[in-house]
Amino acid sequence: MLNESDIVRSLLKNRLKILSYLDSILSDFHLAEDCYQDVCAAAVTKVDYFEDATHVLRWSLRTGRNKAIDLLRRRDRQPCGLDDGALETLEGQWLAESSHPSESDSDRIHALKGCLGELTGNSRKIVEFRYHEGLKSGRIAELLGRKKETVYRSLARVHVVLRECMKHRLEKEEI
Q: Which of 27-31, 35-39, 81-85 has the highest mean pLDDT?
A: 35-39
How do residues 41-60 score in pLDDT, each as one tens digit? 999 998 889 999 889 999 99
HEC string for 20-83: HHHHHHHCCHHHHHHHHHHHHHHHCCCCCCCCCHHHHHHHHHHHHHHHHHHHHHHCCCCCCCCC
Is the same domain home to 66 and 109? no
Q: Is the pLDDT of residue 16 over 60?
A: yes
How do residues 100-135 score in pLDDT, each as one tens digit? 444 556 777 788 888 989 999 899 999 888 887 778
> Count of domains in the chain?
2
Is the same domain home to 132 and 83? no
Question: Between 82 and 168, where is the model more confident?
Answer: 168
Is the same domain home to 12 and 92? yes
Whole-model pTM?
Answer: 0.53
Query: What domain range is 73 assigned to?
Result: 4-99
Is the same domain home to 30 and 12? yes
User: What's 164's domain CATH number?
Assistant: 1.10.10.10
Is the same domain home to 9 and 91? yes
